[in-house]
Amino acid sequence: MPIETIFDTMEYGTAPEDRSIALQWIANHGGLIGPYVNGVFAPARDDLAIRNPATGEKLAGMTLCTKDEVTEAVQSARAAQPDWQKAGGPARARVLYALARLMQKHARLLAVMESLDNGKPIRESRDIDIPLAIRHFYHHAGHAQLMPSALSDRVALGVCGQIIPWNFPLLMLAWKIAPALAMGNTVVLKPAEYTPMTAMIFADICSQAGVPPGVVNIVTGDGSTGAALVDATVDKIAFTGSTSVGRQIQEATAGSGKSLTLELGGKSPYIVFDDADIDSAVEGLVDAIWFNQGQVCCAGSRLLIHEAIADDFHNRLKARMDKLRIGDPLDKSIDVGAIVDPIQLQQIQALVQANTAGQTYHAQTPVPEGCFYPPTLITGLHPADTLMQEEIFGPVLVSTTFRTPAEAVEIANNSKYGLAATLWTENINLALEIAPKLVAGVVWVNATNLFDAAAGFGGTRESGFGREGGWEGLQAYSKPRQPLPEPAQVTPFTGQGAAADDIDRTAKLFIGGKQARPDGGYSQAFFGPKGQLLGHAPIANRKDIRNAVQAQLACGWGKTTGHLRAQILYYLAENLAAQTNRFAERLDAMTGLTTGAEEVRAAVDVLFTYAAWADKFEGRAKSVPMRAVALAMREPVGAIAALCSDQHPLLGLVTPMAAALSTGNSITLCASAPFPLAATDFSHILEASDVPAGVVNILTGPQADLAPHLGAHMGLDTVWCLSGAELTQEVQARASSNIKRVWQGAAQDDHDSWLDAGTEIKTIWIPYGE
Ligand code: NDP
């Protein structure tokens, strides 16, 4: 037979990985797995069956942990936490290093077990999941070592409850446990019901690595176990999973004082410009949507292809799809493995079957019986079609076309999610123009699905908040050393005295750059300590909030340069300083104190400080172990509303405003409720200082009436609750409407925390080399 014919007809042989090592591990544990608490495996029960999705065979029985068992695990973590923290960063570094080393020594067992349990191809678990998980522990051993010097002003949160999904079981465990332990926290982790096995091996490794009892606890079970962990007396919940459960958790933790980070779903765009290297972009797409059977939160599941190359691209993509090999996950030459569970398979099938738009193409490749689904491409969809908007979480790519870069950005951002984005172009100028415009926590240029422990990962919009990995990920597992005192509540003075001014002055709201009467037409009288009438302040309502947020969304402040923002903040300082006496008198008259002049000087200083930071609060270029730079860019969080503290009517207004403006955000300030007249006076300073319309809006009125509307508003990205726990709870209870960030402020001089609260890291990956 001629060699050419041999090449044309050559078939892959099978290359099965030996599974006996993993099955033996299960047998050694009596075929049952259960909670790992206080350094030992508790007796396990056969409450739920863990199955190999590729064959349906039962791998093990699993304990469904009850509320009491979760409580016991949390108590164990609580008891262990003080000593773990006191042990110090370098001692923790040794333990994390030992964990990394031992995971490396058991890498093959972990990889085989992951593929058996989850259905992912062994070449992915062996070459991606497990090495990345190990790298996470090495990297965070370093963070533990450096904590005393590099993060000396921060301490552990305490006990962290961590809930992870089934798509990357060990990798998600590593993303959660490594930073938590490095910062001195102890953890209770709940793996997903479908995929607990590698977490159990990890528990075994913890015992070998000298992790003190109680520092790592693992509770097995289903959603009810997760819900019990959310309710338990933990200091933080870190969750990765669906947006719907993330929303429930945000509601359940409202007002509890628990820290929260949410890494949720996505519908990430994959944009291919007409000058892209098409074959590379096709190959990238294979990794974007068929990696892990498309069960990836940041999967490039929405192809946006330039109209001029769409037909050619789709044809080459279909040819590539037909070559993908689907089958036994433990076969080393398999590209696409099993879907995690028949229920997930049914969801994928139902979503695709319900779609009547576009043309559906299934890869022409043999699909085994059982829990398998062929790589699928749906072309000709419109941006508003259901499958362009909803996460399928399976190997299904949807596609639409665009004509100009501006249109590509518009379609890409037309989503409730904002997790990741990929763009392909040979024009680096175009790439660096487009990357900042994409609403996403991670952007890959001419590559996709690159991850590393040094580079932050996380979303925006309904993809959640908080970052995992890198320096930014440590913020979520530590807090300032000095606790923030609860802001004092102040009652306004009452009175019936004569007006303090000869001529009546009408204070108004400040919305969209204009003085505005309150929509409701109500005002409230304010009196000085001796009962004299100081003036009336308008009472804002829901419609005033709506108008203010609309003005914020149209203002374009986020696109300005740091230099321009600094100039305007300095100008504000200049104009406020020129009015020192007037403001000082007003403050003294409202509060009955004599500290007005001091407060004005402090406010001027704050404006100078944040003006200074405006062009200096920079990102980093991350050192990742590959031929790429990962740029950690600081981006504004967007539209902020602040409930200003009662005390310090001017300083409490100017500080959030200056921090927000410095970092490129617009802000609606709900002024000090008992002393609002300094805020209404301040609007004249804003008018005189070239602040563009809508960048700063000032509302007055009872904050308790405004707080629920701020919490529920879909246009606001963040609410800063600076006036106390009660209103924080009000806002948090409604913040899940659009998965809003809620922040309770920092000490006046903790500038880093204020600036951090105004920014989120976007990681832009740019590979280099020929
Ligand atoms: P879930 O969000 O339901 O599960 C994630 C984790 O949360 C699991 O450990 C789960 O436990 C647990 N959990 C479930 N309900 C609760 C609750 N009320 N309180 C606390 N914890 C809870 O995702 P699923 O695994 O059910 O997948 C459903 C969909 O979610 C997928 O189709 C996909 O769209 C999306 N998803 C997104 C992921 C991402 O990375 N963004 C990852 C996985 C899924 P248990 O597994 O035991 O039910």
pLDDT in tens, 313-363: 999 999 999 999 999 999 999 999 999 999 999 999 999 999 999 999 999
Report the pLDDT value the prediction gives residue 262, as an integer from 0 to 100. Answer: 97
Taking CA atoms only, the protein residue closest to ligand 1 atom 21 is: 226
CA pair distance 95, 83, nearest whole angstrom = 14
Tokens linked to 749: 């001089």
Q: Which of the two residues, 253 and 495, has the higher pLDDT score?
A: 253
| Pocket lining: 753 vs ligand 1, CB cutoff 6 Å | no
Bridging pattern class, strands 376-379 and 359-362: antiparallel
The answer to whether residue 741 scores a pLDDT higher than 90 is yes
State both tokens at 125. 């678990």
Mean pLDDT of 669-687: 97
**Collapsed DSSP state (helix, strand, coil) of residue 363:** coil
Confidence of residue 2 (pLDDT cuts 50, 70, 90): confident
Best residue among 62, 245, 258 to mutate for probing ligand 1's pocket (most ligand atoms within 8 Å of CB) is 245
Q: If you search the block for the tokens 């005002």, which residue do you land on?
A: 523
Rounded Cα distance, 400 and 245, in Å: 29
The residue written with tokens 């062929």 in the block is 374
Contacts of 278 (CB under 8 A, 6+ apart): 272, 309, 312, 313, 316
pLDDT digits (tens, 9 = 90+) for 559-610: 999 999 999 999 999 999 999 999 999 999 999 999 999 999 999 999 999 9
User: Considering the chain, what percentage of its residues have pLDDT values greater than 90?
Assistant: 95
Question: Strand order of the sheet with strand 32-33?
Answer: 32-33, 58-62, 48-51
In contact, 725 and 703? CB cutoff 8 Å:
no
Q: Which amino acid is at 751?
A: H
**How many separate helices (H) and strands (E) can be counted in the chain?**
27, 34
Measured in Å, residue 709 CA sits from the centre of ligand 1 at 29
Q: Is the CB of 189 under 6 A from ligand 1?
A: no
Q: Dump pLDDT digits (tens) for 387-435.
A: 999 999 999 999 999 999 999 999 999 999 999 999 999 999 999 999 9
Does the beta carbon of 394 lie inside 6 Å of ligand 1?
no
Helix/strand/coil (H/E/C) assignment for every residue in 693-758 = CCCEEEECCCHHHHHHHHHHCCCCCEEEECCCHHHHHHHHHHHHHCCCEEECCCCCCCHHHHHHHC
Q: Indicate which residue's Cα is closest to atom 25 of ligand 1.
A: 165
The rounded radius of gyration (Å) of the Cα atoms in the chain is 28
CA–CA distance, 703 with 693 (Å, rounded to integer): 23
CA dist., res. 628 & res. 114, Å (int): 28
Using one digit for the tens of pLDDT, what is the confidence trace for 262-273?
999 999 999 999
> How far apart, in Å, are the Cα atoms of 300 and each of 288, 577, 588?
5, 52, 58
pTM: 0.96
Mean pLDDT, to the nearest integer, of 684-699?
A: 98
- Distance from residue 222's CA to the centre of ligand 1 (Å): 9
Q: Give burial (CB, 10 Å; 0-12/13-18/19+) of 49.
A: exposed
Q: What is the 3-state secondary structure (H, E, C) of 611-634?
A: HHHCCCCCCEEECCCCCEEEEEEE
| Residue 391 CA, closest ligand 1 atom number | 34
Ligand 1 and 190: CB distance under 6 A: yes
224 lines ligand 1 (CB under 6 A): no
Q: Is the pLDDT of residue 503 over 80?
A: no
Ligand 1 atom with the smallest distance to the CA of 392 is 34
**Ligand 1: distance of its center to the CA of 245 in Å?**
7
Assess whether the C-beta atom of 175 lies below 6 angstroms from ligand 1: no
64 C-beta closer than 6 A to ligand 1: no
- Joined together, the tokens standing for residue 538 give 């308008």
CA–CA dist 309, 276 (Å, integer): 10
Minimal-distance CA residue to ligand 1 atom 28: 242
Q: Which one of 120, 162, 168, 242 would you pick to mutate in the ligand 1 pocket, going by the greatest count of ligand atoms within 8 A of its CB?
A: 242
Q: In this structure, what DSSP letter does residue 455 have? A: S
What is the distance in A from the centroid of ligand 1 to the CA of 246?
8
**Overall average pLDDT of the 14-20 stretch:** 94
CA 48–ligand 1 middle distance (angstroms): 17
Mean pLDDT value across the chain: 97
* CB of 160 sitting under 6 A from ligand 1: no
Confidence of residue 386 (pLDDT cuts 50, 70, 90): very high
Q: Which atom of ligand 1 is nearest to the CA of 263?
A: 41
User: Average pLDDT of 703-709?
Assistant: 97
Which pLDDT score is estimated for 499? 74
Residue 232 Cβ inside 6 Å of ligand 1? The answer reads: no
CA-nearest of 263, 270, 293 to 419 is 263
The residues annotated with a catalytic role in the active site are: 263, 297
Checking DSSP bridges between strand 359-362 and strand 417-418, what pairing results, if any? Answer: unpaired
Backbone angles phi, psi at 407, to 5 degrees: -70, -35
Q: Please tell me the distance from the alpha carbon of residue 541 to that of residue 546, in angstroms, as a whole number.
A: 9
**How many A from CA of 242 to the centre of ligand 1?**
5
**Residue 236 corresponds to which tokens in the numbers above?**
């933080």
pLDDT at 375 over 90: yes
Cβ atoms of 225 and 190 closer than 8 Å: yes
Query: What pLDDT sits at residue 200?
Result: 98
Indicate the pLDDT class of residue 496, thresholds 50, 70 and 90. Answer: confident
Q: What would the mean pLDDT of 245-250 be, rounded to a whole number?
A: 97
Kindly report, residue by residue over 314-325, the tens digit of the pLDDT.
999 999 999 999
**Range of lowest pLDDT (281-295, 349-363, 477-491, 613-627):** 477-491
Per-residue CA distances from 13 to 181, 325, 332, 339 (Å) = 44, 12, 10, 23
Q: Tell me, in angstroms, the distance from the centre of ligand 1 to residue 449's CA.
A: 21
Does residue 180 have a pLDDT over 80? yes
Q: Cβ(473)–Cβ(456) under 8 Å?
A: yes
pLDDT in tens, 603-658: 999 999 999 999 999 999 998 999 999 999 999 999 999 999 998 999 999 999 99
Mean pLDDT of 183-192: 98
Range name among 47-61, 459-473, 474-488 with the lowest pLDDT average: 474-488
Does the beta carbon of 538 sit less than 6 angstroms from any atom of ligand 1?
Answer: no
